[in-house]
Structure 1
Amino acid sequence: MDLTRDSASPLRIRVVSDGRAGIQNQALGLAEAVQRLRPSDIDVCRIGWRPLFDRWPSVVKQPWMRDPASDAALPSDGAPWPDIWIATGRASLPLSVRAASAGPGRPFVVQTQDPRWRTDAFDLVVAPEHDGLSGANVISILGSPHRITPARIAGAASAFDVLSGLPRPRVAVLIGGRSASHDLPADHAARLAHDIGKAVQAAGGSVMVTLSRRTPPEAEAALRDGLADVAGWIWDGRGDNPYFAFLDAADQVLVTEDSANMATEAASTGKPVQLLPMVARKAQPKFDRLRQALIARGLARPFDGTMDVMGIGAQPLAETERAARELLNRYDRWRAA
């Protein structure tokens, strides 16, 4: 192991993913949490694979199979490795395994989510509790790593003038959509819009709605129609993303139960959180475990059609910070070995 690096210089952290926001933000959020604990420089690499090879098993993929538009995550021509490699998602797995087996000077390799690979192929795996993963080099956290902290979102609302005039309580509504486990048909979206609108209007408040790329167009139309008479803003996907601003401006957060990322991000604001029901497409024990954990710890409650949130709201969930502290502890021991 190379110990010649100046320990007083910033850590070099490489974040590797396929670039999709929900995937990249897990690795980037963990890297930023490390950066808050110790001076660090972060570079972000997007990895993709040529269409012919994209669905091939990760174990047989080779670097030359990458999409030419991918970033060069692996160093070449004798360039140094980063100190810490943090990756998320299927696309990153072949390169993470290669980085972990690169020999002297290699990085400390961290994989988030359940890699569905031998966990001992990595130096550390940061996995959600609801995945049920275990091992000597596994840290289990409630939900997934992410970028949300009260300090990070503070002031984000000031970038959007429209938010300052919205009546309170301001309710951030985070809508997911169709996935392997959940669906959002138009009739269900219409019922959600009706119930949300009725509750918000009864409270004299307003909505701030953001939709997912997974939100079906017919569900989006039903939501827009159902909330048309409610004060607020439904973001149309144009211009700067107001997601952080909505969380900053919100007095309460409603989030659909289909997204582990959005649910844990909402819980990390310290604001009252209610979980909106979705249509289950199949049994969903992992989501059930996450939902039950959030409720049991007082971080959320099921949406009951009211804005009466007395008794909920808690200390912000800070699992990403906990994972970052443990990552640094293990990195320091690994480097000293």
Structure 2
Amino acid sequence: MAGFETQGIGIAEALGLTPVIKRVSPPAPWRWTAPHGPAASNPDIHAPWPDLLIASGRQSIPYARMIRRAAKGKTFTVILQNPRVPPSQFDLVWAPAHDRLNGANVISTLVSPHRLTAKRLAEEAQRIAPELDQLPHPRVAVLIGGSNGTYTFDEAAARQLAEQLATLADDTGAGLMVTPSRRTGENQTRILADALKDKAAVVWDGAGENPYFGFLGTADAIIVTCDSVNMVGEACFTGKPVHVVELPGKSLKFRRFLDSIYAAGAARPFVGLLENWDYAPLDATHEIAEEIRTRFAKRRDEMK
């Protein structure tokens, strides 16, 4: 999954590494038995084994287990997300705090790792600056996800959010920078664009490079739908006020995540108003990378 891959690359980059990426898609019956069963034969997975392996996703777990065993423990094996098997099978496991996974070799953080850096946000903001010259401040990045197995972003939800955004632009004079995602839906995107066409707003139409990171970098505040843990977490990395649009739906895990973000002071529910507050940016990527660096060095010392 793209989101899982991004997390792994982000951690590798935070360690100062350029990773070699291996994608696996085993056939039946191996994909049915993952993560518990053996790894299917794959000519792309072979010795020499790496010093560090970062794996994510259910289908990757049998391969991670096989590599660690074949390398006789010399490959330091890191798993991202709950592996659904005992964490003791690996050297280090990261899982989001809302998963409530515990173990001596488990590290948890409120938000997920990603590839964002302060430098990248500044560069992306500079890149799209000419396109936003006429947009007033405060500038608000509006990050729109879409329906998933937990939440619903249908046309009714799109109309409600569109009305709130239009009113916000009128009442505050804010400039809105709206970026839909692949899951938003054509009708929902059109509803948002129509409602904001006479406002101080830019709505990405899907053409060209996604301005997502540029919007984050230039924003004074952020509004983000609640359906993506990654998207909310990336918003909270900026240190800017994050307003979360809680969509129709229910999930205990998502509820725990949102409540923890609110408790940390990084975000608040969006109720149609623009608020301002300060908080320490949430940076799980470097926290996880430092834990890997520390444990990896300890392992190397023990093996000397």
TM-score by length of 2: 0.91
Q: 1:237 & 1:96 partners in 2: Cα distance?
A: 37
Q: Report the equivalent of 1:90.
A: 58
- Please give the secondary structure, in 2, of the residue aligned with 1:140: strand
- Please give the secondary structure, in 1, of the residue aligned with 2:21: strand
- Please give the secondary structure, in 1, of the residue aligned with 2:206: coil
Q: Report the equivalent of 2:94.
A: 126
1:164-204 Cα deviation digits (max 9, x unpaired): 33221111111111111111110111100110121123221
Q: 1:265 & 1:297 partners in 2: Cα distance?
A: 15
| 1:306 maps to 2:273 | yes
1:155 is displaced (CA, Å) by 2.1
- Please give the secondary structure, in 2, of the residue aligned with 1:182: coil
| 1:75 maps to 2:46 | yes
1:142 is displaced (CA, Å) by 0.7
| 1:267 maps to 2:243 | no
Q: Report the equivalent of 2:4.
A: 23
> Letter of the aligned partner of 2:269 in structure 1?
P
Residues 163-242 of structure 1: pairs in structure 2 closer than 5 A? 163-242=132-211
> Letter of the aligned partner of 1:330 in structure 2?
R
> Letter of the aligned partner of 2:208 in structure 1?
G
Task: Compare 83-92 and 288-297 and name the one that shifted more.
Answer: 83-92
Unaligned runs of 5+ in 1: 1-17
| 1:328 maps to 2:288 | no
Q: 2:18 & 2:9 partners in 1: Cα distance?
A: 12
8 Å Cα contact 1:144-1:261 kept in structure 2: yes
Higher share in helix: 2
Q: Report the equivalent of 1:6.
A: none
User: RMSD over aligned Cα, in angstroms?
Assistant: 2.0
1:158 is displaced (CA, Å) by 2.1
8 Å Cα contact 2:12-2:18 kept in structure 1: no
Residue identity over aligned pairs, in percent, reads 40
| 1:45 maps to 2:22 | yes
| Change beyond 3 A, Cα 1:110–1:187 | same
1:56 is displaced (CA, Å) by 1.3
- Please give the secondary structure, in 1, of the residue aligned with 2:160: helix
Q: 1:179 & 1:148 partners in 2: Cα distance?
A: 24
Q: 1:225 & 1:192 partners in 2: Cα distance?
A: 12
Task: Compare 129-138 and 162-171 and name the one that shifted more.
Answer: 162-171
TM-score by length of 1: 0.83
Q: 2:24 & 2:137 partners in 1: Cα distance?
A: 42
Q: Report the equivalent of 1:7.
A: none
Q: 1:226 & 1:240 partners in 2: Cα distance?
A: 24
1:11-62 Cα deviation digits (max 9, x unpaired): xxxxxxx4x1x22111111112222xxxx33223333334x55851213353
> Letter of the aligned partner of 1:115 in structure 2?
P
8 Å Cα contact 2:30-2:37 kept in structure 1: no
- Please give the secondary structure, in 2, of the residue aligned with 1:87: strand
1:193-225 Cα deviation digits (max 9, x unpaired): 110121123221222122222223332222222
1:228 is displaced (CA, Å) by 2.3
| Change beyond 3 A, Cα 1:222–1:57 | farther
8 Å Cα contact 2:25-2:31 kept in structure 1: no
| Change beyond 3 A, Cα 1:54–1:201 | farther
Q: Report the equivalent of 2:257.
A: 290
- Please give the secondary structure, in 2, of the residue aligned with 1:41: coil
1:88 is displaced (CA, Å) by 1.7
| Change beyond 3 A, Cα 1:87–1:201 | farther
- Please give the secondary structure, in 2, of the residue aligned with 1:199: helix
Task: Compare 116-125 and 265-274 and name the one that shifted more.
Answer: 116-125
| 1:315 maps to 2:280 | yes
